[in-house]
């Protein structure tokens, strides 16, 4: 048998430029992933209820500092009917409390009375935001969102609940009218009626509760405090 020489074909040479580009791309993707993970973790940082007030609803002071006293008094008036309990920033529908406010609690709790009995609601916090409304308004008004791109997180801590609601109520485009000017003109009943489709406990036939009729008087009392 005659032996024949067999030679393997040379392996194709890799272009150094392609190697460098590939290596750079991999490193960039890894770095981006690390940044996104860290940002997401920052957005999820634990935050426990640190607001403690013996006062209920409207009598509990706002955590947010500054701002127009008329809007501040309106915010506390909303709280009188929506969250008339101690430590209103952490309360969920039914009176249970969320301990972690790094984001909206998003717990759907069965409604036991009113026109929507049998359904469930995610209403939480001093202003009883449902999850979808919080996400929508926080996207517009939250002063310090965490995370990146689609991983945005909006802290539900007390000061941010206040700031989102304050900016929302102060935005004349959101309501089609300047609520501050109406309040300064003494038209609290007009303002409460305008807001009642959003906060149904403000009355006007939607979801009146035991506090609804007293809200104009509560507003006037709280306004005196805020003007001091």
What integer is the mean pLDDT of 200-225?
90
| Selected residue with higher pLDDT from 168 and 30 | 168
Give residue-wise pLDDT tens across range 167-182. 999 999 999 999 999 9
CATH code for 57-227?
1.10.530.10
The yes-or-no verdict on residue 5 having pLDDT over 50 is no
Q: How far is CA 115 from the centre of its chain?
A: 25
Give residue-wise pLDDT tens across range 43-99. 444 444 455 667 888 999 999 999 999 999 999 999 999 999 999 999 999 999 999
Share of the chain above pLDDT 70, in %: 75
The yes-or-no verdict on residue 13 having pLDDT over 70 is no
Q: Where are the domains of the chain?
A: 57-227
DSSP conformation letters of 101-134: -SS-----EE--SSTTTTSEE--BTTTTB-HHHH
pTM: 0.77
**Contact (CB, 8 A) for 81 and 211:** yes
So what's the pLDDT on residue 147? 75
Give residue-wise pLDDT tens across range 103-144. 999 999 999 988 889 999 999 999 999 999 999 999 999 998
Name the band, by pLDDT with cuts 50, 70 and 90, for residue 212: confident
């Amino acid at each position: 048998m005659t032996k024949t020489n067999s030679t393997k074909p040379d392996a194709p040479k890799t272009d150094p430029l392609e190697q460098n580009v590939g290596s750079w791309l991999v490193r960039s993707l890894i770095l981006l992933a690390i940044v996104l993970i860290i940002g997401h973790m920052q957005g999820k940082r634990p935050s426990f209820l640190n607001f403690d007030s013996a006062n209920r609803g409207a009598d509990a002071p706002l955590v947010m500092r500054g701002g127009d006293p008329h809007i501040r008094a309106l915010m506390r008036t909303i709280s009188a009917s929506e969250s008339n309990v101690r430590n209103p920033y952490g309360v969920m529908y039914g009176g249970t409390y969320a301990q972690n406010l790094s984001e909206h609690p998003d717990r759907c709790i069965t409604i036991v009375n009113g026109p929507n009995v049998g359904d469930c609601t995610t209403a939480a916090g001093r202003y009883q935001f449902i999850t979808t409304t919080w996400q929508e308004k926080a996207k517009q008004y939250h002063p310090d969102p965490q995370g990146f791109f689609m991983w945005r997180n909006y802290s539900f801590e007390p000061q941010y609940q206040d700031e989102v609601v304050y900016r929302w109520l102060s935005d004349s485009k959101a309501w089609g009218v300047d609520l501050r000017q109406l309040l300064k003109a003494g038209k609290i009943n007009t303002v409460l009626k305008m807001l009642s489709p959003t906060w149904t406990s403000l009355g006007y036939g939607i979801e009146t509760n035991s506090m609804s009729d007293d809200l104009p008087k509560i507003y006037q009392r709280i306004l005196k405090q805020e003007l001091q």
